[in-house]
């Protein structure tokens, strides 16, 4: 017996937004995500379902049509599909050379944008976020205070901050308080 009405999806920190003159922080729209672990042969095999090449160098990303592949480790990628939030990218057939695990609901993301974006993040993230050290289209797993995040610079002044869902209130409140200091 299937429910007559579709089961309601409630994402963490839905609709959150704060902004001031130098930075805005808002919850990203739901997306589907895969944690991909693979041998190099597995990565090649997975790419066929993806239609673009996975980045092979540390911190690199690749994108096409709302899909993003982020290099997180030598055999690890985070795939984010903003275009199809309800459709898992997990290939239907099992493969012996990779592990593709649906983590769409494990993660959520905030978009931190504006000239004060890096300063906001640097309130609690120890990384050098200058354009030279952390260029556009690069990514990294790192820390924001006591939360682990994946930081993805999508544009000069825009970062996508991925975290696990239960850390969302902490990350949200930390970024919000940090934004007060972002003009400095």
Contact indicator for 61, 69 with CB cutoff of 8 Å: yes
Q: How far is CA 52 from CA 44, 104, 151, 177, 184, in A?
A: 10, 20, 21, 38, 40
Which residues does 157 contact at the CB level (< 8 Å), separation at least 6?
A: 113, 114, 115, 117, 118
Q: Is 180 exposed, middle or buried (0-12, 13-18, 19+ CB in 10 A)?
A: middle
Binding map of other proteins across residues 136-175, x = CB under 8 A, - = no contact: ----xxxx-xxxx---------------xxxx-xx--xx-
Binding map of other proteins across residues 121-140, x = CB under 8 A, - = no contact: -xxxxxxx-x--x------x
Binding map of other proteins across residues 19-38, x = CB under 8 A, - = no contact: -----------x----x-xx
Residues 79-118 that bind other proteins (CB under 8 A): 94, 96-99, 101-107
Contact set with other proteins (CB under 8 A)? 1-3, 6-11, 30, 35, 37-39, 58-59, 72-76, 94, 96-99, 101-107, 119, 122-128, 130, 133, 140-143, 145-148, 164-167, 169-170, 173-174, 177-178, 180-181, 184
């Amino acid at each position: 017996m299937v429910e007559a009405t579709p089961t309601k999806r409630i994402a963490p920190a839905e609709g959150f937004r704060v902004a001031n003159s130098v930075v805005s922080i808002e919850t990203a729209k739901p997306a589907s995500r895969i944690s991909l672990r693979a041998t190099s042969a597995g990565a090649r095999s997975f790419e066929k379902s993806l239609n673009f090449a996975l980045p092979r160098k540390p911190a690199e990303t690749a994108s096409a049509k709302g899909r993003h592949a982020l290099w997180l480790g030598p055999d690890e990628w985070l795939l984010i599909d903003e275009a199809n939030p309800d459709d898992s990218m997990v290939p239907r057939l099992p493969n012996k050379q990779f592990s593709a695990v649906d983590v769409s609901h494990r993660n959520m993301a905030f978009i931190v944008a504006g000239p004060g974006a890096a300063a906001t993040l640097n309130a609690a993230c120890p990384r050098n976020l200058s354009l030279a050290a952390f260029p556009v289209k690069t990514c990294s797993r790192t820390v924001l205070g006591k939360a682990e995040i994946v930081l993805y610079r999508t544009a000069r002044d825009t970062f996508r901050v991925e975290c696990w869902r239960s850390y969302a209130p902490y990350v949200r409140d930390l970024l919000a308080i940090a934004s007060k200091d972002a003009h400095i």
